[in-house]
Amino acid sequence: MSGTLSPIDKAKFVAAKRAVDYVEDGMKVGLGTGSTAAWMVKCLGERIRDDGLRITGVATSTRTAELAQKVGVPVVSLDEAKWLDLTIDGADEYDHNLNLIKGGGGALLMEKIVATASDELIVIADLSKQVEALGAFPLPVEVIPFGWQTTKALVEETLVNLDVLGRTSALRMNGATPYVTDEGNFILDLHLKRIGNPRQLALVMNQIPGVVENGLFIDICDVVVIGHGDGSVEVRDINNGAVEHEKIDVPETDNLFVDIAD
């Protein structure tokens, strides 16, 4: 495998590989959405196949559910699972306090619901997602389709009084039509450049009529596993302040991962 993976894909793989070590037999596990989370689902499928791991997964999107079923990870609804032992997911940005921007893949609502219904959230990412201040990545805000242009105007008006550098927003598109989430909503991507007070912004955004949820994950993440292109990982635990460094074995070939896609 290592001969076919780019450094960035190797970083995603080793982060995912290390994160699934947190999963124990009998756990109920939230399954994130995105390219890095896809590696994690594949790694879980490998453990189920080779080690006899028994878990129940709750997917944060239809595409994650389809991938999980494909690789042999059992999936149930959150209502069936009720509460989860842990969730493993990616992030578009994370800061030194492990506050996150998520939702680049369009699943922020389900991701936040699943993450907050878990005892622990483990984020897997590469070093490029680490920032001093959140906001370089556009902040996704999920809105209902009814009156979305009015909601957009209200969002931009609200941003005038908040500690951000940019105040423009754009409706996320899928070709010539609006992108539609699994819940049937639209997404506004806010181009803020820098968010001075993420906690305040998250609270204010969710008070605007028409806004369903925003992509700021504040005080939710417990651990971040950072993958590097050389096959090493750094594990940061926000609860105990621990930082660990490890080297992950990357096999030359592994048929389980040949069809991975972003």
- Most distant CA atoms of the chain, gap in Å: 54
Does 90 carry a binding-site annotation?
yes
Does 158 carry a binding-site annotation?
no
Does 105 carry a binding-site annotation?
yes
Does 92 carry a binding-site annotation?
yes
Does 153 carry a binding-site annotation?
no
Does 42 carry a binding-site annotation?
no
Tell me, yes or no, if 132 is annotated catalytic: no
Does 60 carry a binding-site annotation?
no
Choosing from 46, 93, 111, 213, the catalytic residue is 111
Does 117 carry a binding-site annotation?
no
CB of 30 within 8 A of CB of 118?
yes
Binding residues for substrate: 33-36, 89-92, 102-105, 129
Binding residues: 33-36, 89-92, 102-105, 129
Active site members: 111
